[in-house]
Amino acid sequence: MSLRIIVAVKHVPDATGDRRFAEDGTTDRASVDGLLSELDEYAVEQALRIAEAHGDAQVTALTIGPDAAMDALRKALSMGADDAVHVSDESIHGTDAIGTSLILARAVERTGFDLVVCGMASTDGAMGVIPALLAERLGVPQLTMLSEVTVDGDTVRGRRDSDAATEQLESRLPAVVSVTDQSGEVRYPNFKGILAAKKKPVAGLGLHELGIEAEAVGLEGAWSAVNQIVARPPRVAGTIVRDEGDGGGKLAAFLAAQKFI
């Protein structure tokens, strides 16, 4: 039985760029170049490793986003994903995490899945809630924040490192997993992969095909709202001294003056 893996990816503004908000309080996706979110690269990598270990699996990359988001799918395809699904609709602009999970869940169900693989969080919103929301909506187990993941028959196992403990997790498929940046080195797409990506099928879907009303998503449909955005003043460098055998002593004096010691 073919193992159907969907890897959910996000196209995000480059974190090294000057990220900002648009007039309507949403993330400005135009002024900074976008790319496949770094943490989602780990999800693609693990999806591919699971597929390779299984021997008879299909990896579909899924994203929600405007035209530019195709770039994230292209990267996933050139790494080795077999095909892709691009959900795009004007009405999606400004959708919150709750709404995003609805769109993803419908797209995942429509595509058919045994396993959904996600990154641990996006690098722009950085909420880290989509995998849990997705599991809740799909009615399947979540194995999240994994540094190791394997699929064995219809069982998925993973290792989750939290502050208190390291836990071994196990559930039956179908399931939603998320993987951390500790889960294994990400492969670079090679030239052959980049060329092959151009021929791989990409299905386009709008809200209508997913049976979602425009009012249920977007800025108006969101269950939370941004009231105010204030740019923090950048930090200004304070006193910098050169160590001339007394650097530690000067630092101690500074800390004492600040009442830290």
Partner 1 sequence: MSDILVLADHRDGAARKPALELLTLARRIGTPAAVLLGAGDAAGSIAARLGEYGAAKVYRGEADEFEDYLVVPKVDALEQIARQIAPAAILLTSSAEGKEIAARLALRLGSGIVTDATDLETGDGGPVAAQPAFAAAFTVRSTVKRGIPVITVKPNAVAPEPEPAAGELTDVSISLSAAATGTRVTARTPRRASSRPELTEATAVVSGGRGVGSAEAFTVIEELADALGAAVGASRAAVDAGWYPHTHQVGQTGKTVSPQLYIASGISGAIQHRAGMQTSKTIVAVNKDPEAPIFDLADFGVVGDLFEVLPQLTTAIRASRN
Restricted to residues 58-97, the positions that interact with partner 1 (CB under 8 A) are: 96-97
Q: How many angstroms separate the Cα of 182 from the Cα of each of 8, 149, 223? A: 18, 11, 33
Q: What is the DSSP string of 41-75?
A: HHHHHHHHHHHHHHSSEEEEEEEE-SGGGHHHHHH
* Amino acid in the structure at residue 210: L
**Per CB under 8 A, does 30 bind partner 1?**
no
C-alpha torsion 31→39→120→19, nearest 10: -20
Determine the Cα–Cα distance for residues 229 and 211; give it in Å rounded to an integer.
Answer: 33
Which residue, 1 or 164, has its beta carbon nearer to partner 1?
164
Interaction residues for partner 1, span 170-189 (CB under 8 A): 170-171, 175, 180-182
Which residue, 70 or 177, has its beta carbon nearer to partner 1?
177
**Per CB under 8 A, does 1 bind partner 1?**
no
Which residue, 84 or 102, has its beta carbon nearer to partner 1?
102
133-172 mask for partner 1 (x: CB under 8 A)? x-xxx-xxxxxxx-x---------x--xxxxxxxxxxxx-
**Per CB under 8 A, does 23 bind partner 1?**
no
**Per CB under 8 A, does 112 bind partner 1?**
no
Segment near partner 1 (CB under 8 A), from 60-68, 73-81, 85-93, 242-250?
242-250
Angle at 125 between CA 130 and CA 168, to 5 degrees: 40
Residue 161 β-bridge partners: 166
